[in-house]
Structures are given as C-alpha cells and as structure tokens.
Amino acid sequence: MQKSFLIGAAALVILSGCEKAEAPAPADTTTTEVPVETTPPEGAADATDPATDPATAPHRFASWAGKWTGVEGMFVTITPGEPGKYKLEMQSDLDTKGTYDGNDSEHGIKFKRGSEELSLRRGNGDETGLKYLAGKKECLIVKDGEGYCRD
C-alpha cells in the first residue's frame, strides 16, 4: 500500500508541475486556386500591361490628375489618358469652357486652346498674379492672370 501511495503521490507532483500547452493548429496546405489563362487574344492589348492600360500608363504629371480651382468659378480638371496624354476640362474665363487634349512636355502639360499653344506648369499662388490665389503653395499656371490651385 505504501508503494502505491508513493507512486500516486509522485505522479500527482509530476503532473501538477506541468502546464498543458496547446499545440498550434496545423497549417492548411491545400489550395483552391485554379490557374486561369490570362493571355489576351492575338492582336489585343494586354489590359494588365501598364504601358497599354490608360489607367496605369506612365504619365509624367500623373500627380496633377483631378480638379484644380481658380478664381470666380474657373477650374481645370486633368484626366490621364493614353501614355503621356491628358484630357483637360477647363473653364478658363467667364466665356470660355472646353475640353482640350494635353501632352507631356518638359515642364508641364502642353495643350492648344483656340489658336494659342499653351502649357500648364507648376507654380504657387503668388506666381499666378491673382490676389485670390496669393499664398497658396500647390498651383498650376497657364499664363499671367490664369492659374489654378489645390486647397
């Protein structure tokens, strides 16, 4: 009886000193992905190729995309198109509203409005020559007295 008591006591001491550790769940090694053919039809542009997808194509002034505000309701909205090309929706004065094709150039986006060859270039509110835009830091300038800024 003493032996069984000692063995039982020893087992109790050993078990009480051990904590039960939970083993981590085994990693799931199965996959449910099915390979999909992604090759476009012959002659078709690959929509995932950044050089042919207008949404991801390289544009020198891609950070200029969006709306820029001028004075008295004037604005320009820049939308990247084909690589190096842009659509400019513009209200440039009270009487002139239109959409123009723009292209990357060395210092900005070149476009033609009427018979004028113009360019949007980076600047600040003071450089626009417009009192309302004075002090603004992030602006685009077309010419003296015509500029657009982001608030």
The answer to whether residues 84 and 101 touch, using CB atoms and an 8 Å cutoff, is no
Q: Among 136, 150, 120, 138, which residue's Cα sits nearest to residue 60?
A: 120
% of the chain at pLDDT higher than 70: 62
pLDDT at 130 over 90: yes
Average pLDDT over residues 88-110: 95
pLDDT at 41 over 60: no
> What separation in angstroms does the CA of 59 have from each of 81, 96, 101, 103, 129?
9, 27, 14, 9, 28
Average pLDDT over residues 112-131: 95
Residue 86: how many other CB atoms lie within 10 Å: 24
Residue 85 has what pLDDT? 96
pLDDT at 75 over 90: yes
